[in-house]
Structures are given as C-alpha cells and as structure tokens.
Structure 1
Amino acid sequence: MKKPITIKDLAKSLNISVATVSRALRNSNEISSETKKAVLKLAKEMHYHPNLLARGLINKKSKILGVVVPTINRQFWSNSISGIENIAYKDGYKVMIFQSAESFQKEVEIVETLANSRVDGILIAFSKETREYEHIQQVLDRGIPVLLFERVCDELNTSKVVTDDFFGAKRITQHLILRGKKHIAYLGGPQVLAVCRERFLGFKSAMDDAGLPISPEHVIETDDFTFEIAKNGIYQLWNSNNKPDAVFCFADILAIGALDACKELGIRVPEQLALAGFGNDDTSRFVSPSLTTMSQPSFEMGQLAAKLILEEINSEEEDEFDFKTEIIKPNLIVRESS
C-alpha cells in the first residue's frame, strides 16, 4: 500500500525545514507569501492531506464534533444535522455523523469510538432502547462536552435543546376538540422515551381539561415509527366496536401511514376520522388530504445545539460553565386532514 505523503516529504522536496512547511500550511504570518504558494502548490501536486487528529493532539483541539442520532432517514434528524453542520463549519469544525439505528448497544459503541477519537464534543439524541446513561457520564468525566437534543434525560448535567412536546401535543389535541371531535385516539411511540411520554401527557391534559374520557383501547403505544405500524394501528382502531372520530399521531410518519390505511378502508378524512401529526415533514404538505401537524424548527434546533456546545468548548471557565436548557415551542399548522 502506498504510504501517505507527510510534511517531511514536502520539506525534503522544497529543501526547507519541516517547521517552515508546517507554518506555511497554517498560513502563518512568519512565512513569506512566495514560500506559502510553493508549499501549497507542491502539497496539491503530491496529494498531501493533513493529519487532523495529530494536529489536534498538538493544538489540544481536534476541531471535530460527533453527532449521534437514532436514524438519518427522517426529516427531523437530517434537518437537525444540517443545522449543526451549518454552525460548526462557520467555526472551523467538521462533523462526524453516526446513527444508532435505535440500538442502545450500538449507541454505546459509537460514543466510545467518538471519545477515543478525541472529538471536541458530542451531540446526541438517545435511541429508543436507552435507559441508562453511564456511557455518557464516562465521557463527561473525561472532560468532553456533551449536548443532548430532542431525546434527552434529566439524569445528566449537560446543556439540552428540546421541543416543548407537552405544549405541542396539548395544542393540537385542543384543535381537534374545537373541530367537534370527542373520541380522540392517540397513536404514539414507546413512553419510556421522554418525548413520547410528554406528547401523550399533553394529549391527556387537553382531553382532561375538556372533560373528555380517554378509552383505553384508543391509546396505541407503538414500538417503532414506521408507516406499516401506523397502518396496523388504524386497522385495530377501526375494527373495534368503539371507533374514534380523530387520531393524534406522535409523528408525521405515523400520521401518513394512518392516512394510507384510511384510504384502504374507505374512511373519509376528516369527515369520519380526523388525523393530526407532529413534525411538519415536507411530505405532510403533499399528501391528500394534506396533514394537520405541529411544526418543529429542526434546522434551527440543530443550529442552536451547535452554538451551545461550541460555547462550552470555547469557554475558559470550564468548571463553572452554565449549562442551558433551550425549550422550543412548535407551531400549529392546520391543513385538510382535520
């Protein structure tokens, strides 16, 4: 295998010192413009690539952030990553992206890999299986900043960026009630996840305030977030003797699956069954009927998360850093499905 070109190779070819080449590559003012041009020209010709990790060991910073999300094929997570990268790049940082695939074990392995790679900070949204947080505490104990976003916990002393899920779920349930719906079902993810639990509690609070009972068979807790699971949920609800007149779905992906099931069953939406989602994915505008949902500014949440962790990384008073929890309120988007 061909050995990578090093600074020593550049220095030897130009008959200058390694230190001069290093300073030229860093655009140091100590080096003449002519020398810089010569070094950069040769570096390009010889396909020299800097060892960012080695440079980080010298500078005490790798200028790399690690991002861990459950999956990258949902719009909320991909938008959040874009927001993180947008801010990180402006501050000279690169972003390493990993997906846990909703696996706790994979999440633990990813976090250990990132910590051992000497990233300057880790931004993470927990998997649906995550119940323990020792793997994160160990990273914090090593002095590596960690920021939690969207899927968080109370056990860790870190900065956090979250959606006001209780508020959003209550607001959209109130909307369905104002539309005259009295038998509203909830189709949501595993309530061991704080985000799922908060959305269910928001739904319950709106129903309680309106004096509307929640039928136990109208609460379906899914173990994943897929179209097929949502479709099965609608079939289950509609085949019961106690049919709902509306369904609030934890996320747009579930609401779109529910809408597809309604078409298969011949259910008129919203006349027979109103539907509402959460997230405002792009697809929610283009399905027919278009989907009522709660809009989450996911790109902006990613930007805010990046700003907070960079603020911590760049803080000179590390031991006294004031961790922040930013709570973002979603906005109701009323469309045809309700």
Structure 2
Amino acid sequence: MLAEIAHDFYVGSNRFKNEKILKHLNVTSTMKKSITIKDIAKKLNVSTATVSRALRNSSEISKETKLAVIKIAKEMHYHPNLLARSLIKKSSKVLGVVVPTINRQFWSNSISGIESVAYKKGYKVMIFQSAESYQKEVEIVEILANSMVDGILIAFSKETQNYDHIEDLKERGIPVLLFERVCDSIPISKVTTDDFLGAKRIVNHLIERGKKRIAFIGGPLSLTVCMDRFLGYKSSLVENGIPFDQNLVIELSEFTTELSVIAFKNLWSSGESPDAVFCFADILALGVLAASKELGIKVPEDLAIAGFGNDDITKYVSPSITTMSQPSFEIGQLAAKLILKEINFEEKDEFEYKTEIVKPDLIVREST
C-alpha cells in the first residue's frame, strides 16, 4: 500500500521535490502497472460497476458473480487503490502516526493504544519512525499529507524545534494531534504526561529517603518533555531546601543505555559523587544500575536510582528500579479518540482543541 501511495505521490505536481523524498525513504519510483477493476471486468466480460459492487459485497450482485470476481481478482493480484477511493469518498479511513522510534516500550504501547481505538472505528494506521531526525519527520509528514490520510498523530523528534510542517498541515485542513512530545505554542489538540509533577514526586521520594546529592540524567533540554522533568527535579530540590548543583545535571544527546553508563562513570569519578540519581527515562536508569554494579556501588545503600516510564524490565532487574508509571497504552487511546473526534466534527471552524494531561503514578521498588 505504501508503494502505491508513494507512486501516486511521485507523479504529482511536486515531482522533483517528491523524488528526493522517495529516494531518502528508499521507495522505488519504478512500479509495475497496477491491476484495476477495469482489467477484472474485461477478463470476465462484465461491467466495471458489477466488479466494484461484487468487491464491496453488494446485495445487488449474485453469490456466483461475487465468487467469480473474487477468484479472478486474487489470480490477477488485484489490490484496491486506496488513494483513488479516498478521492471519491473524501475519506481514506487511514491515520498516520509518526514516532521517534518503535523500539521503546512507551512508543510501541502508545501505537497499540492508537490502533485499538482506530480499528474499532473502521480506521487503519500507517506507522512511521523519524529516527529522532527533524528532516525525516518533515518528509514523512509531507508524504502522509499527500497520501490523503484523514489525520496525523505526531510525537516530535529530539531535533524538532521548528514547527512549520505542523502549521502547514493546519492550513491544508488536515487534522493533526501531538502526543507526549509536544509544543505548547501551537493551538492544537495534545495528549501529554504531567512530567513536571511526576519528576517532582519522584525527587521528593528520594529526599524522603534521606538523599541530598541527587543527580539528574536526561536528554536534550530543547525537548519540552525533557525540560519539564528537569524543572520538576529542580523545583523539588528548591522546595526542600537543597541547593541546586549544575555539576549534577547531565544532558545526553541520545536516549541510550550505553551513553548513560559512560555519563554516570564520568560523574562518579569526577569527585561530584551523588547519593541518588533521577533519570529522565528507565532506559537511562538501567545504564546507571549497570555502571554502579561495575563500580562496586551498593544500591540503594550508597546510591539510590529512579527512572521514569515503568518499562517492564525495571521490575525484573536486581535490584528492581523505582519509577513513575506512564499509562502509555491509555495515552495512545486518548490521542486516537481526540483526533477521530476532530476528523468527524462537521463544523471544522468551531472545533475546540483539547489538551489531555495524564498523571503518572510513583512505583517504589528496591533501588531506592
């Protein structure tokens, strides 16, 4: 289906721009001729209307004719042209979803939540990952827009600081929703976690455990979600009378266990040894735990470790990791319900954008 949509996109009025995008996404522009209902009708010596009705299981067509049409359609490898159908019906019944990556539990769970709601409402979901690249995100959005999807749900890449591609979607009348990684300045529907409150609660918990030198390991602070958790961390320190120490703050370029291991080892050997670490995400907390074991640090006696996200693995490692639970599946469901509401709203000019903020729950385990 993607190849068919991409091909139609390629031969459009923006040929040269689209050719560059297709090359970047490794989609070939040399396609075999698609089989149409005209080809099936000619083979059976019936009208195209008969074939169309048979494929739609219309009661106007006899069972024998339907079976004959389906048999020939399979033999000829016929696939319906969803783009052409969407032009006729003005609805493709397809949602586009763009996430930074699909190999993190939060994103895969969110996608599952989106799909569960979409499927019940008769919609299919096309999933793309930006690989944390702003340029790729922009190109994917352009392809989805030109593929005539009914709506697009986006979680920004770590590089995204320009939102012209989102404004362009709005100007073209394409419903778009932001989830988890959002931009507050754009008037648009959003679904987010209360990251500030979640970070504040988990740092309060560390302070209640007697910790006073609490480090923060996070991602790029240009991302709203990273900044919100950092500000929650800092707010907790200030409110509890603990001086903020910039030397205990580490901003990573990538959300990887490997970088977290290196960052914590450097911090520990620098003479700025913390007695607790709050990590932006569980994947980073796993890196700190691995590094502490290599260094012979006792957890939680010498070092308390807390993450964010409640990835499944955090309850199975030893010691198990304290974290904030994000209902990622439910976030996906909320996002899908909101965008479908916008898609099916008749008076587009009067649609009221909503922001849903989901509160995370503290899960205390052995690491603190």
Structure-2 residue corresponding to 1:44: 74
Asked whether 1:285 is paired with 2:311, we answer no
Moved more, 326-335 or 43-52: 43-52
| Distance in structure 2 (CA, Å) of the matches to 1:197 and 1:164 | 12
Kept after mapping to 2: 8 A contact 1:226/1:253 = yes
8 Å Cα contact 1:80/1:301 also seen in 2: yes
| C-alpha displacement of 1:34 | 4.1
For 2:51, give the aligned amino acid: V
Deviation of the 1:293 alpha carbon: 0.4
Which of 189, 208, 211 aligns to 2:238? It is 208
d(CA) in 2 for partners of 1:73, 1:31: 46
The alpha carbon displacement at 1:122 in A equals 0.8
Counterparts in 2 of 1:168-317, with a 5 A limit?
168-317=198-347
Q: 1:173-211: per-residue Cα shift (whole Å, max 9, x none)?
A: 111111111111111111111100100111111111111
Residue 78 in structure 1 maps to residue 108 in structure 2: yes
Q: How does 1:64-213 map to 2 (within 5 A)?
A: 64-213=94-243
Q: Helix, strand or coil for the counterpart of 1:147?
A: strand
Between 1:217-226 and 1:34-43, the stretch displaced more is 34-43
- 1:256 is displaced (CA, Å) by 0.2
Give distance in 1, aligned partners of 2:322 and 2:70.
Answer: 55
3-state SS of the aligned residue for 1:288?
coil
- Listed as ranges, the gaps of 5+ residues in structure 2 are 1-30
Q: How many residues align?
A: 338
Superposed CA RMSD: 1.5
Letter of the 1:141 partner, please give it: E
Post-superposition offset of 1:274:
0.2
Q: Once the 2 structures are TM-superposed, how far is the Cα of residue 299 of structure 1 from its aligned partner?
A: 1.1
Aligned residue for 2:67, secondary structure, equals helix
Q: Secondary structure at the residue paired with 1:127? A: coil
Alpha carbons 1:184, 1:214 under 8 Å: kept: no
Q: Secondary structure at the match of 1:312?
A: helix
Query: Identity, % of aligned pairs?
Result: 72
- CA displacement 1:119-160 (0-9 Å, x = unmatched): 111110111111110111111100111100000002222110
Could you report, residue by residue, the CA deviation over 1:197-250 in whole angstroms, capped at 9, with x for unpaired residues? Answer: 100111111111111112221111112111121112211221133321100000
Letter aligned with residue 42 of structure 1: I
Deviation at 1:43, TM superposition (A): 2.2
Using the alignment, how far apart are the partners of 1:205 and 1:19 within structure 2?
A: 67
Give yes or no for contact 1:185–1:214 (8 Å, CA) kept in 2: no
One-letter amino acid of the counterpart of residue 56, structure 1:
S
Query: Which whole-Å CA distance do the structure 2 matches of 1:32 and 1:155 have between them?
Result: 57
CA separation in 2, counterparts of 1:44 and 1:23?
Answer: 16
SS class of match (2:278): strand
Structure 1 runs (4+) greater than 4 angstroms displaced: none
Displacement of 1:73 after TM fit? 1.2
Distance 1:311 1:33, change over 3 A: farther
- Which structure 1 residue ranges, 5 or more long, are not aligned? none
**1:149·1:161 contact (CA, 8 Å) conserved in 2?**
yes
Shift of residue 38 of structure 1? 3.3
2:131 maps to a residue whose letter is A
Q: Which residue of 2 aligns with 1:25?
A: 55
**Aligned counterparts of 2:243 and 2:289: Cα–Cα separation in 1:** 24
